[in-house]
């Protein structure tokens, strides 16, 4: 994994991914005590940065493999990113999801043209076994959600844009806070910034109780979460950083930051009222860190990646209403 792969992904993504805007608001600056620049990846195609990695991986396949198709395990943003990327390449896509995934996510993934295969997680079916059989039978290529160089390369294009946009704002030194699951986006951004804007330091942000990356950075080896449920930040709950991502995170990233679920919901409400964007709980973690943990951030400006906006209407409405009552 290296910077050249990111530059190559950038060329393949040209005209496909949106260059998302860098937003800001004096109201957020006041809360944070410094300037807050928000990279709005919720405005990316499919509603999250995952389209970049999906496109990068599908477009990097040799034609022969691409024509057979791809497979991914995901009930979330990675599923939609891979599904749309495959559809636009006229590549068959199979997405393996648990039977009890939200109907909206299943419907959206199908609407992006993918074949959704459901497995019975409660009934003891193994996702990997279901997927392996399908991949074998049809010659499908597995696209991993984060521990895959071409996926990291696609996500890293967010970092190239941040480097450009920070310069437009005159920012040369700042912490760049990234909502972090397995570290695909975080490591991609870190590699891009190392090359293009070395004064910008990448820092992963995770929900309380699921801070495997922060702990891994502290201990110097891969640490795991004990459970995978129990936070509203579903988009960034992963067991541990990956074997490809962790060495990059370890070499390049500043200390991890941990935020509470409640802080993420409050950050969603702040983004609603001050930036007019929709972010999901896991996509709000970095903004929550900027707004509510200012003392562990350095510099006059902080850059925040708002990674996605795929949230159910009822959950979003609840976050707004809770915040209004609290004020």
The residues binding a second copy (CB under 8 A) are 18, 20-21, 23, 26-27, 42-43, 47, 111-112, 269, 272-273, 275-279, 309, 313-314, 316-318, 320-321, 323-324
Q: Kindly state the helix (H) or strand (E) to which residue 55 belongs, with its residue range.
A: helix 50-60
Determine contact, residues 267/287, Cβ cutoff 8 Å: yes
Of 212 and 280, the one with the shorter C-beta distance to a second copy is 280
CB of 217 to a second copy, least distance (A): 30
CB of 105 to a second copy, least distance (A): 12
Of 64 and 168, the one with the shorter C-beta distance to a second copy is 168
Query: Residue 22 forms beta bridges with which residues?
Result: 39
CB of 42 to a second copy, least distance (A): 4
CB of 278 to a second copy, least distance (A): 4
CB of 87 to a second copy, least distance (A): 9
3-class secondary-structure state, position 143: coil
CB of 264 to a second copy, least distance (A): 16
Concatenated DSSP letters of 193-220 = HHHH-TTEEEEEEEETT--HHHHHHHHT
* Residues whose CB is less than 8 angstroms from the CB of residue 118 and which lie 6 or more positions away in sequence, other chains included: 96, 97, 98, 99, 101, 106
**Other CB atoms closer than 10 Å to residue 201's CB: what's the count?**
21
Determine contact, residues 154/167, Cβ cutoff 8 Å: no
The rounded distance, in Å, linking the Cα atoms of 278 and 159 is 21
Of 48 and 225, the one with the shorter C-beta distance to a second copy is 48
Of 84 and 135, the one with the shorter C-beta distance to a second copy is 84
Of 8 and 31, the one with the shorter C-beta distance to a second copy is 31
* Residues whose CB is less than 8 angstroms from the CB of residue 222 and which lie 6 or more positions away in sequence, other chains included: 212, 216, 240, 241, 243, 246
CB of 224 to a second copy, least distance (A): 32
Of 153 and 270, the one with the shorter C-beta distance to a second copy is 270
3-class secondary-structure state, position 113: coil
Of 18 and 293, the one with the shorter C-beta distance to a second copy is 18
Determine contact, residues 156/263, Cβ cutoff 8 Å: no
3-class secondary-structure state, position 33: coil
Of 93 and 249, the one with the shorter C-beta distance to a second copy is 93
CB of 324 to a second copy, least distance (A): 5
The rounded distance, in Å, linking the Cα atoms of 116 and 106 is 7
């Amino acid at each position: 994994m290296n910077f050249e792969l990111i530059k190559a992904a950038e060329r393949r993504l040209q005209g496909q991914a949106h260059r998302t805007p860098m937003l800001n608001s004096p109201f957020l600056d006041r809360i944070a005590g410094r300037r807050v620049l928000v990279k709005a990846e919720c405005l990316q195609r499919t509603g999250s940065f995952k389209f970049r990695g999906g496109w990068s991986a599908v477009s990097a396949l040799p034609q022969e493999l691409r024509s057979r198709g791809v497979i991914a395990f995901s009930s979330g943003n990675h599923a939609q990113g891979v599904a749309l990327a495959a559809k636009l390449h006229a590549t068959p896509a199979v997405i393996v999801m648990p039977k009890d995934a939200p109907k909206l996510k299943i419907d959206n993934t199908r609407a992006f043209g993918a074949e959704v295969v459901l497995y019975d997680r409660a009934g003891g079916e193994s996702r990997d076994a279901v997927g392996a059989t399908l991949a074998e039978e049809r010659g499908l290529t597995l696209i991993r959600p984060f521990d895959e160089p071409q996926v990291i390369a696609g996500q890293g294009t967010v970092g190239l844009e941040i480097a450009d946009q920070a310069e437009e704002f005159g920012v040369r030194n700042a912490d760049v806070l990234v909502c972090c699951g397995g570290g695909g986006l975080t490591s991609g951004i870190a590699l891009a910034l190392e090359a293009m804007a070395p004064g910008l330091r990448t820092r992963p942000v995770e929900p309380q109780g699921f801070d495997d990356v922060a702990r891994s950075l502290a201990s110097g080896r891969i640490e795991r979460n004990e459970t995978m449920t129990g936070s509203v930040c579903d988009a960034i709950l992963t067991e541990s950083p990956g074997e490809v991502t962790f060495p990059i995170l370890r070499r390049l990233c500043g200390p991890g930051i941990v935020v509470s679920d409640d802080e993420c919901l409050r950050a969603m409400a702040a983004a609603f009222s001050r930036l007019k964007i929709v972010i999901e709980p896991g996509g709000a973690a970095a903004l929550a860190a900027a707004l509510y943990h200012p003392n562990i951030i350095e510099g006059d400006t902080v850059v925040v990646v708002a990674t996605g906006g795929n949230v159910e209407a009822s959950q979003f409405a609840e976050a707004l209403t809770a915040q209004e009552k609290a004020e």
